[in-house]
Amino acid sequence: MTARTFVILLFLNIRFLYCQDLQIVDTLLNTTDTYEDIISVSWKGDGSAIVFCATDSLGIGIFVYNLDAAKYSRVYRDSLLLGDVVWHPDNQHIVYDKKTGRQSSLFIRDIEKDIEASLFNRNIPARQPSFSNNDDLVVFSGFDIINDNWQVYTYDFVYDNLNQLTKGDFNCADPVFSPDGKHILYEKTQPGGDTLIEMINWYGNFELRVEGGNARSPNWKSDSWRFIYVVEAQHSAEVYSSRRNGDGVYRLTHNGIDEVAMTFSPDNQFVTMIVEEKANKVLFILSVE
């Protein structure tokens, strides 16, 4: 273990979690006894809360956890939910995907008024939405009916434009806008089944490829300069970090636990970590230095 590696205070399944360049000083949330499976999580723009999709004894639903109040609230429950939810940049709405007949669509919900509407009016199967800090564009996985696979699309709310950014004999998943709105990371699944991460700019030009193992679950730090992702190893899945230009790659976790995804809060003071534990996906919020 190098001098830059810290032992952090989270204990999981009789194993300690090691982390590089992060020192975990407190565990704010552990959903082990509350929810059966955590599917996705998103930070509110001001860092005061998270929204997440999870299953419990009543089925699948969307929940908000307020950090200051240390309190859960259920926002929405629907058996048709697919599991992907994010905060809208206005911090008053959430955006999520769910089944509509034989396809999936994106919806926006006013949390206070409990009103749902379609995110946009286009007849395209859509899932996994993501926004930058600006609400002019949303990026999402859309189904290309010509090539019969999932690709990266954006929808421009200002000009009412739907744009396909990727095309090929592969599937794309989990596109994520950088906070500054200039770059998009996504998972690319090759015909053989291996996954890698690619980066394009917001109008679809190729910028970067992360290879060397099954890489998945990309996400950004708030400065849009570094991003994080998960690499599957033989007996675990670990989190890595890279600069936007592909330099400065290092392994962020060293623990032999199956990390599913990690996200940083807007102020980089906290991280969420979804971990596979005893066949369930558990969510932690960790205070970091």
Residue 267: inside a domain: no
C-alpha–C-alpha distance, residues 92 and 111, integer Å = 6
pLDDT (0 to 100) of residue 3: 28
C-alpha–C-alpha distance, residues 289 and 276, integer Å = 24
Question: pTM of this prediction?
Answer: 0.89
> In the chain, how many domains are there?
1
Residue 219: inside a domain: no
Residue 107: inside a domain: yes
Residue 196: inside a domain: no
Residue 73: inside a domain: yes
Q: Are 251 and 242 in contact (CB under 8 A)?
A: no
Residue 220: inside a domain: no
What is the Cα 241 distance to its own chain's centre? 15
- Lowest mean per-residue pLDDT among 6-15, 43-52, 100-109: 6-15
Residue 166: inside a domain: no
Q: Which of 39, 35, 2 is nearest to 21 (CA)?
A: 2
C-alpha–C-alpha distance, residues 149 and 147, integer Å = 6
C-alpha–C-alpha distance, residues 109 and 66, integer Å = 18
Confidence of residue 289 (pLDDT cuts 50, 70, 90): low
Q: Kindly write down the DSSP assignment for every residue of 141-210, as one continuous string.
A: EEEETTTTEEEEEEEETTTTEEEE---SSSEEEEEEE-TTSSEEEEEEE-TTS-EEEEEEETTS-EEEEE
Q: Which residues pair with 39 in a beta bridge?
A: none
pLDDT mean over 61-88: 95
Confidence of residue 32 (pLDDT cuts 50, 70, 90): confident
pLDDT (0 to 100) of residue 269: 87
- Phi/psi region, residue 282 (left: phi>0; alpha: psi -120 to 50; beta: rest), is beta
Highest-confidence range of 20-29, 153-162, 209-218, by mean pLDDT? 153-162
Looking at the chain, the whole-number percentage of residues with pLDDT higher than 90 is 67
Residue 288: inside a domain: no
Q: How many CB atoms lie within 10 A of CB 14?
A: 5
Q: Are 178 and 224 in contact (CB under 8 A)?
A: yes
What is the Cα 208 distance to its own chain's centre? 19
User: Mean pLDDT of all residues in the chain?
Assistant: 87
Q: Are 94 and 109 in contact (CB under 8 A)?
A: yes
Range of the domain at 115: 33-119
pLDDT mean over 204-217: 90
